[in-house]
Amino acid sequence: MSPFDHFISSFDEGIKKQDLQKLTLSNYKGPESELKNVYIKLVLIKRELMLSFVYRYKTKDVTKNFNSSDALATILNLTEFKGFRNISLQRTNEILHFQRNKKGDWMERRENVKEETFVNLLHDKQKERKITDLSKPYLQSLNLTDASGKVYKSAQDKWKQINHYIEILSSSLAELPKDKKLNIVDMGAGKGYLTFALYDYLKSSLQQDVLVNGVEFREDLVEFCNQVAKDSAFDDLHFVQGTIENYKPEEKVDVLIALHACDTATDDAIYKGLQDESALIVVAPCCHKQVRRELEKFKAKNELDFMLKYGIFLERHAEMLTDSIRALVLEYYGYETRVMQFISDQHTPKNVMIVGLKKEVNPNKQTQIREKLKSIQEYFGIGYHHLVRLCGLDR
């Protein structure tokens, strides 16, 4: 495949997988003396996936939005005839640099990306406006805003987290059917900050027909949240007292969410989603005690054992192993899986989010994953991993 054909296929794939972070056209040699660069990114405009082009001139920016086929035609035009000689295409885990030499041939260079980030699909004008009506009563009941709709200073971090969470989810939710009522379950909903915000966003901003259930162990929180939902006339939002492991949904769960559910409660939540073949599973794991105990118990002898005498590395090791095995299990069941930083570690160290989008199961891949799971568990001395056991993948 020629470098330029590779650019086109990677560009198409980046749109399809929605992991195209940024595309930059530079080194302009064309006739427009003031034109410097063109910056291109994926955006959702009225729920349609588009590409936003910012043409940077010496003294102004001009923005134009295109659908994917017009976008490619425009890029071809800008590079072939209008003289941009460099293209850099950034996706979640790589940057491809293409450079056209004087003879007109394209050369290609690949760069790894150090830290994966999610693609923010919201249009600049929409940023920070996920929850548009700050006067809504639930925001006051949750102590996020005052009576005039101003976010309290002490709630600024929480507010950022809520908005960021909706940004991340909205790109995955955009892939789900819009014409049917979505059954969403939020496991370990706590005081319901994220549950209320998600419901409000889906109902008010996207006019999506949804049923949202928050599952929470603490009775006082469940009572409080149900009262707030009632006061807000959020008729399709309910909170149920009970444990994640014993929760029995009345209908098939389309979207399974579990944010900061402790230790193996995250595994129980993922397992519920897998049993229902939920279209989307989103978890932000919390503590990782179960696998940590296994590591401490078996003390496997391997090339990495010298690290594990330090508590902090043992902790991180347990976290990475627990969550990467969770991601593998999701892949086993045909989920396209992404692992990303959820919130900045300034706000909380519990900031990894695993997002699984249901696709087809691939039996060959399943065989490989089973072998991989077995060898990882043996190598690291993990006698059991809760999710692997629930799924019966260790038999």
Ligand X SMILES: C[S@@+](CC[C@H](N)C(=O)[O-])C[C@H]1O[C@@H](n2cnc3c(N)ncnc32)[C@H](O)[C@@H]1O
Which residues of this chain interact with ligand X, rule CB under 6 A?
188-190, 193-194, 215-218, 221, 243-244, 259-262, 265
Cα distance between residue 61 and residue 53, in whole Å: 10
| Shortest Å, Cβ 164 to ligand X | 12
| Shortest Å, Cβ 261 to ligand X | 5
| Shortest Å, Cβ 144 to ligand X | 12
Q: Which is nearer to ligand X, 137 or 190 (CB)?
A: 190
The CB-nearest residue to ligand X is: 190
| Shortest Å, Cβ 169 to ligand X | 13
| Shortest Å, Cβ 115 to ligand X | 22
| Shortest Å, Cβ 389 to ligand X | 16
Handedness of CA 378, 384, 387, 388 (dihedral sign): positive
Q: Which is nearer to ligand X, 85 or 386 (CB)?
A: 386
Q: What does the DSSP assignment read for 315-378?
A: HHHHHHHHHHHHHHHHHHTTEEEEEEE-S-TTT-S--EEEEEEE----HHHHHHHHHHHHHHHH
CB-based contacts of 388, cutoff 8 Å, min separation 6: 325, 329, 373, 377, 394
| Shortest Å, Cβ 174 to ligand X | 22
Q: Which is nearer to ligand X, 189 or 202 (CB)?
A: 189
Q: Give the closest residue to 8 by CA, choosing from 67, 63, 54, 69.
A: 69
CB-based contacts of 70, cutoff 8 Å, min separation 6: none
Q: Which is nearer to ligand X, 10 or 195 (CB)?
A: 195
Q: Is 159 helix (H, G, I), strand (E, B) or coil?
A: helix
Q: Which is nearer to ligand X, 17 or 164 (CB)?
A: 164
H helix runs in the chain, sequence order: 3-16, 68-80, 137-141, 156-173, 193-200, 219-231, 265-275, 289-298, 311-332, 363-380, 386-390
Q: Which is nearer to ligand X, 10 or 172 (CB)?
A: 172
| Shortest Å, Cβ 320 to ligand X | 20
Q: Give the closest residue to 300 by CA, choosing from 373, 370, 383.
A: 383
Q: Which is nearer to ligand X, 124 or 219 (CB)?
A: 219
| Shortest Å, Cβ 286 to ligand X | 6
217 secondary structure, DSSP code: S
Q: Which is nearer to ligand X, 71 or 391 (CB)?
A: 391
Cα distance between residue 284 and residue 136, in whole Å: 27
| Shortest Å, Cβ 194 to ligand X | 5
Q: Which is nearer to ligand X, 30 or 242 (CB)?
A: 242
Q: Say if residues 22 and 41 touch (Cβ distance below 8 Å).
A: yes
Q: Which is nearer to ligand X, 240 or 300 (CB)?
A: 240
* Residue-wise burial string across 55-90, b where 16 or more C-beta atoms lie within 10 A, e elsewhere: bbeeeeeeeeebebeebbebbeebbeebbbbebbbb
SS3 for 3-30 is HHHHHHHHHHHHHHCCCEEEEEEEEECC
Span between the terminal Cα atoms of the chain, in Å: 43
